Every structure is written in structure tokens, then in C-alpha cells.
Structure 1
Amino acid sequence: MHSLKELYKVGIGPSSSHTLGPQKIAKRIRKEYPEATRFEVALHGSLALTGKGHLTDKVMRDTFAPRPCTFTFNADRLPYHPNGMIVNVYQDDKLLNSIEAYSIGGGAILFKGEFERGLKEYYPHNSMEEILTFCEHNALSLYDYVKRYEEDDIEEYLMMILETMLACVDAGLKAEGVIQGRLKMKKVANDMYHQALNIHTPMRRSRLMIASYAYAVAEENADGHRIVTAPTCGASGVVPAVLYHAYHNLHMSKQDLVEALAIGGLFGNCVKYNATISGADGGCQAEIGTACAMASAMVAWIHELNNNLIAYAAEMGLEHNFGLTCDPVGGYVQIPCIERNAYAALCAMDAGLLAGELGYLRKNKISFDQAVRVLKATGKDLNDAYKETSLGGLAKEYHVEND
């Protein structure tokens, strides 16, 4: 598996696959062709169908500026992934190159010819069963395992990721107004947080606060602000909500939360390596489902559960998101995406609790790896209308013009 640095990335919203990835593609092409005078971009598949709402054309046009860039939108998909594009690079009227590139989820990109080569492998094990067995034989915690195989500066990197997440929650809790786009969605994280402060029932207050933290990040993401892919932009509010709660309400240290990030990232990596974290490829189960699994593992670790029970919590977080569709209304990462982040954060809190209680009563019969395989199979079976195309589900039921 790849480094956690390939999973947790700082970028701008609203979409890691439709904004962050295309921006990286444009930056790379611009750097490789400094003599270019203009660009023509043909977006395909999901990039074409929801690119406008996800700001794909805007971010690429801004990246190529001041050189002009024109776009065409084609519903057919290219061979390797639903998020594909062809960029024609020109110097005046001379075509310098026609480049086929893909944004494969979580901000990761690949150009044609790179799929066989891939990224550097850091971990010798590619399944959670292999990892758990290795840890048991060597008396390692899951965090010890990450430290053994990652780069030497992984703690510093994860501390930067944590600080960025906490700052994003802070920014979202202060933000007011309306999120960009035709939906005219009012930002509610600030109001939700202050409602929570006035609630005297401890459990209700705590859960509403966690929801407000998730809303804060998801609203920041939808407005195109700075977030962390965890594992994607569209699911970026789940993990920070849990960590912000642990830091501000449970008073855990930042070093402890760095360890939680590493452990959650390990489960996210397993999904990314063995299935997909791309909504265009596997539906929202691949994004929110993975984020919920990661956050569930973190909550289990916070509850001081052992490696196997942490895996149980992650499996639970993933399993109960099977079949979740990616159907953004109007192509915006707003409905149902923002609300879904808060719901998944609360589910993660429950999964961490249940794993601790159930795990000591009976052995879980479904492994995390089995859940990942089911996610992958379910993603393949999902109709394309439910995979970030805005052709089905809520996107078909509710039209922006209704407002």
C-alpha cells in the first residue's frame, strides 16, 4: 500500500476528484509545456456530467491562466476510469500533444501509461488480515505498524494534517452566509453549534456538537475552501468532527490524535488499495463509507480497544454504508453531501461504542477485508446514474429550478 501522505492531502474543495485532481493535472501539464499558448480540455464521464457544479472547468481555467482554455463536456467515459479527460496542448496553431489523464479519487491522478507503474509501495501488507496477523506476531499496535513502514517524518506530516483539520472546523463554525452555487444553501454550522451550547442534556448536546463540527468542514469544502481529503473532499467532514470532539470536548492531546489519524488512515488505505474511494467509481459508499470506517477506527482507539476490536469498529462503519449512492443535486457537493458527513460522524461514534461492547460478547464473523470486497462488488453493480453523474437518485428527484 501507499503512504498515508497519498491519502491525507491538503487542498481546496469541493471535490478531490473533480477539483483537486484536475487542478493537479493542469499544474503538471503547464509545467511540462511552458511554451504552450492555449489548451483545449475534453472532460469525459463523471467529470463532464458534474464538472460544472464541482468547479472542474473553473479550477483548470484558473490554473492555466493567463493562457486561454476551452472545454467540451462528453458523457461517455474513457477506458481507465470514469473521471477522465483529454487535454490538447497548443503552441499557437501547432498541436504539441494530446494528453489522456485521470483523476482517480482522493486527489490522486494518473496519466495514460502510468497505470502499470503506479505509486511507490510503503507497506508490505495489503490487507487488514495480514496487518493484524503481523501485529499480533510482533506485539505491535496499529500505530507501531504505521511508524515501522512510513517515512521518518510521518508524525510531523500528520500533525500538519491535524492542525489543518482543526483550523477548518474553526473556520466553518465561524462562517455565515450562503454557500456558492445555484442551490443557495444557507450555512448552518454556526447556528447548530450555538444551539448545542444551550442544550443541557449531555448526550444530546455532545452529539449536536459533533454534527456541527462535521457541518463546519463540509460547508467549507462546498464553498471551495481549504480542507483535507479524508479520504476525499466530499467526505472531508467526518474524521475532523471526531478529532475536534476528542481534542476540545474530551481534552485529548494532539499527539494522541496524530496516532488516531495514523490508525484511521491505515483502514482508509486498505479500502483505497483493494477497492475504491472514488464516488464516480463506487458511489458514495466509497467516500462516506470509507470516511465512516476510518473515523470508527479512531473512536475505537480513543476507547482504548485492541487491534481486533478497532478493526471490528471500522468494519461496522463500512458495512452499514453499503450501497450508498452518489447523487449530488445539481452536481454540487451540498445535497445530500453535507448532511451525510454529520450523519456518518455520529455513526462512527456509535460504531466505536458498539465494537467495544459486542466484541467482548462474541467474535465478529465479518472481517474488514470482507467488507471491502463487498464494497468493491457493490460499486461495480451500482447503476452509473448513482455514481457521481447526477443522473439518478436525489439529483433526478430534486431540480435546482425548484427554488
Structure 2
Amino acid sequence: MDRRDFLKLSVIAPVAGSVLLLPAVAGARGIPAESMGGRPTGLCYQGPPTGIITSTLKDLFKIGPGPSSSHTVAPIRIASNFRATVAALPVEQLAKAERIEVTLFGSLSATGKGHRTDRALLAGLLGQQPETCDTALMDALQDTTQVRTTQIGGQQFRLSGDTIVWDRGDHVFPYANTLMMRLLAGDGTSIFEREYYSTGGGFYTWKGEPPPDRGQPVHRFGSMTELKQVAAATGLPLHQIMLQNEMAIMGVSEQVVNDHLDLVIDTMDRGVTLGLTEEGLLPGPFEFYRKAKRINEKAAADQGGDGFMGELSSYALAVAEGNAAGRLAVTAPTLGSAGTMPAVLYTLNHRLHVPRAAMRQGLMAAGAVGLICKTNASVAGAEMGCQAEIGVASAMAAALLASAMGAPLDVTENAATIALEHHLGMTCDPVGGFVLIPCIERNAFGAVKAYNAWLIAKNEIASQHWEDLDRVIAAMADAGRAMPARLREMGTGGLGVTMVEC
């Protein structure tokens, strides 16, 4: 059935609204409201967003210790920023300081212990950086009674479990994951404090943060609609648009960009390889056994599609299990979804034998999808539920696969759109606040859905596909806003309740 035939039908249940085109940007065609019959006025798509994405692939694809980019990578970066800021304070201010206090709000407080948030903050205050974090130290910081000392700006501070204050889940701050860091005098008065926000995917900001001192992108876009317009106007492929923007914003050479992409590829590849060798229990308050190695071995004995699906799933499980154990992984777009893209990348590398240059191109396509999702919705489970983590990861993985296999931009977009659409409404309901149930298996399903989205997108007629990425991102944002807070990483709804016996 083509679009013309579809529009003749007036008895179909409402599924989308009409496109109200913004003056400067013409989005993909939607279904006219009049064909729906009986729809309330105003319930329609207002058109694609406009703007300029100035975040980069290096911002998006960060490396750090698991299990959560919002709860471990961002807190390490935040604590490191606070440490550097305190070290630069005037000597007379520092002389009055006696201790540091960190207060957690939102899901940082509600599920932070299961996510190792307290350990991440202490590690950052002790001078650790995410990319080189000593995971053995992170494990040792589980002992909250142990007191450690650190020098900051010539002053010595004592750090322990008492440094962290677990406040309340509900709050009035502008971001779901908020923390307050304070430098205190002996009488408890605040010498310096800063209100930080962990915004998903290891990104963070703070109240009153000035704009970053960076270059401007060569190609300005804030949505997939605008990105396609750039491609049409310049004749450039997607990866060249992303490469030129990365170089301009970061002020670096193509070689520097490729070096980071190679680091991402190699880190993901190692994560799969190592995870497929490991067995036994993962850390947590209940028995949870690794299964990636067993699934992979069983899949090797299967024939055809069953064997392939088993292997693809095992690759995702391998990285997700390593992330749950606190190993270094890549935010793609988060650590909770760190296994989905590596499963597809490992398949491209070891099964399809795609050249390194093609894998880099795929990463740039995945990055475009991830940055557009983050800009116009979120990649944080605490903001939008698991649709923003596994859903976006699956969309990125589908774009990675399509672009690396040489698909044009419209097919790449369709693959990402299909993958994201079929994760809409997914809640974030970690059991006990640990990235175990249902998080690890969701990575495998995200990878399988990504591969299936690519198969559908490459075999359909691209121009006949109704849904476009911008509309589905808008739907994800709408679903995320409607989702109760207890189903957004608080661990107090869904499986976070039904898996726990009273």
C-alpha cells in the first residue's frame, strides 16, 4: 500500500499528526489530520526542531568505569572538576577549609549505591579520571568505613563514606540527577559550593556554567531534517559532514578524530573478547551469573539464523556484564546501554570483515543519531526511561550498521528510526538499583532489534517509509515526560518492585 492509498482510509486509529512546517525547515511528510477522522484539533506534530549541535563525537563516546555513565562516569568528572576548582581558590579561603561534603538528589540518591555513585565521587576527589580510572580502587572504595586522605591545593582532606550525604529522590532542581558539592569550614559554614547536574551519557553541567570556549560547526543542524538538508545542499556524505564538524569544533586534525574513533572501536572490541571468556557471579546483593560465554558457545553449535542471533546476543551480553562489574566501557550513548553498539561493531569486524575506515564511518553515523537524540530529548534513563538508553543505543547501532555497509543517508535514517520506534515507552526499572536486571539482557535485545531494523530498512523502498527520526524522537520525549518518576531509574517501580519479595 502506498501513501496515496493509505490516505483514502479514514477508519484507521490515530497514529500521528499533520506536519505544521516551520518556515525554514521542511520535514518529512506526515499523515494529514483530516484523514484521521474525529481527531481533537491541536494533537499534531509541530514540525522538526531547529538549532545547532555543538557537542562532538568525543563528547558522546566517552570511556569510563561501569556500571552507569550518569552515576559513575559523570560523578568522577564532576568530582574532578570540583577538585580542580577548589585547588585554584585563593590561599586564604583554602586555609579555612576542613572537609568536603557531597549531597545527592534524584536517582543519584535513590539508586546510587547500586550504581557505585559514592565510589565514583570519592575516586574523582582522590584524583582519578574516567578514562584511566583504577577499577581496583573503585572496588576497594566499597568499604565506606575506611578513611583516605588527599591533597588539594596544599590542604589535606579526609574522605570516607561520611563524605556522601544521601538526600531525597524527589526534588525541585531542573535536572533529575543533581548533586551539591561543598567545601566546608570547621564550623560547617560553606566556603565554596557548586550545584552539578548529571545529564546522561556521562555529560554534566553546573548551575551558571559559562558556554564552552570552542569552535563553531562548519555544518549547522539540530535535527535529522536539517542534517539531510545539509547533505543535499553540499553533496557530502554523512560521515564527511560529521568529520568536518568534529575538526572545526574541537580544533583538531582528521588524524586526531580517527585516533579517538579507533580507541572507541578497540575498546568495544576488547570488551566483547574479554567478556566471552568470563564466568561466575557478578557483584550485587543477589546471585546473578554471567552467561555471555555459555550463550556464545551454544550459538557456535547452532546453524543458520539461530546461531547468528545467539552470537550477536552474546557479544552484547559480554560487554554489558563487564560494565556491570565496573570494567571500563564506552558510553554509547550510556554505560547502561554499553553492550548494544559493540555487539554490532564486533559483528562488522569479525563476521562481515568490514574495513576499519567503514567502521569509522559507521561510528560517525551512530554519533549523529545519538547527538540528535540527546539534543532533542535525552539519553538518560532518569529523564526518559530506558527508551532513552537502550532505545537510542539500538538506533545508533542500526545507523552504524547501515552506514558501515554503504547505505545512503535515507536508508541509514530509516534503520535508526525503526530501531528507536520499537523501544518507545520502555521504562527504566533496575532491580535494587544495580545494572543487572533487566539491563544486561536489554542490551542483547537492543542489538538484535538494531540488526533487524537494518534488514527492514535496506530491503524496503526508502521513500515509502512513513516514520522519520525527528518524529520518533519527539514521540520518545513525549512518552518520557508522561512516564511516572518511579519508572525512570528510581528502582521503585516495574521490575524494581515485582522482583523483590516482601
Partner of 1:170: 273
Q: Deviations over 1:360-383 (max 9, x none)?
A: 5x5212211111111111111111
1:226 corresponds to 2:328: yes
Q: Which amino acid is 2:226 matched to?
A: E
Q: Which residue of 2 aligns with 1:187?
A: 290
Of residues 71-80 and 43-52 in structure 1, the stretch that sits farther from structure 2 once superposed is: 71-80
State the Cα distance separating 1:118 from its structure 2 match. 6.1
Alignment-derived partner of residue 207 in structure 2: 112
Q: Please state if 1:154 is matched with 2:257.
A: yes
Asked whether 1:55 is paired with 2:116, we answer yes
TM-score scaled to structure 1, two decimals?
Answer: 0.95
Aligned to 2:82: 29
Q: What is aligned with 1:384?
A: 485
The residue identity in structure 2 corresponding to 1:100 is E
Moved more, 233-242 or 128-137: 128-137
Supply the AA of the counterpart residue of 2:464.
K
Report the CA distance between 1:91 and its aligned residue: 4.4
CA contact (8 A) 1:129 1:369 kept: yes
2:494 alignment counterpart: 393
Distance in 1 (CA, whole Å) between partners of 2:224 and 2:168 is: 38
Give the direction of change, closer, same or farther, for the CA distance of 1:72–1:276 in structure 2 (3 Å limit): same
AA at the equivalent of 1:379: G
Give the Å deviation of 1:78: 4.1
* 1:292 corresponds to which of 378, 394, 402: 394
Residue identity in the other structure for 1:11: G
Answer whether contact 1:288 1:341 (CA < 8 A) is retained: yes
Deviations 1:62-95 (A, max 9, x none): 3334222232231222421000011221244453
Listed as ranges, the matches of 1:99-138 within 5 Å are 99-114=194-209, 117=211, 120=214, 122=217, 123-138=219-234
Q: Is residue 400 of structure 2 the alignment partner of residue 331 of structure 1?
A: no
Q: Secondary structure at the match of 1:227?
A: strand
Alpha-carbon shift at residue 300 of structure 1 (Å): 1.8
Percent identity for Structure 1 against Structure 2: 35
Gaps of 5+ in 2: 1-52, 88-93, 127-148, 150-157, 248-252
Match of 2:141 in 1: none
Question: 2:104 is matched by which residue type in structure 1?
Answer: L
Larger Rg: 2
User: How far is the alpha carbon of 1:183 from its aligned partner?
Assistant: 2.4
Partner residue of 1:80?
Answer: 174
Q: Name which of 141, 164, 186 aligns with 1:70.
A: 164
Range moving further from structure 2, 166-175 or 338-347? 166-175
CA contact (8 A) 2:277 2:293 kept: yes
* CA RMSD, Structure 1 to Structure 2 (Å): 1.6
**Matches of 2:168 and 2:107, distance apart in 1:** 9
**Aligned pair count?**
398
Structure number with the bigger relative contact order (C-alpha 8 A, sep ≥ 6) is: 1
Instruction: Note the C-alpha offset of 1:38.
Output: 2.1
Which has the higher mean CA deviation after the structures are superposed, 53-62 or 375-384?
53-62
| Superposed displacement of residue 119, structure 1 | 7.7
Given residue 186 of structure 1, which amino acid in structure 2 is its aligned partner? Y
In 2, distance between residues paired with 1:295 and 1:394? 26
* Distance in 2 of aligned mates of 1:306 and 1:173: 33
Q: Aligned partners of 1:262 and 1:62: how far apart in 2?
A: 31
**Contact 1:78–1:85 (8 Å) recurs in 2:** no
Q: Is the 8 A contact 1:38 1:89 kept in 2?
A: yes
Query: Contact (CA 8 Å) 1:315, 1:371: kept in 2 or not?
Result: yes
Which residue is 2:192 aligned to? Answer: 97
The residue type equivalent to 2:103 in the other structure is: A
> 1:299 deviation in Å?
2.0
Q: Can you give the 5+ residue segments of structure 1 that lack an aligned partner in the other structure? A: none
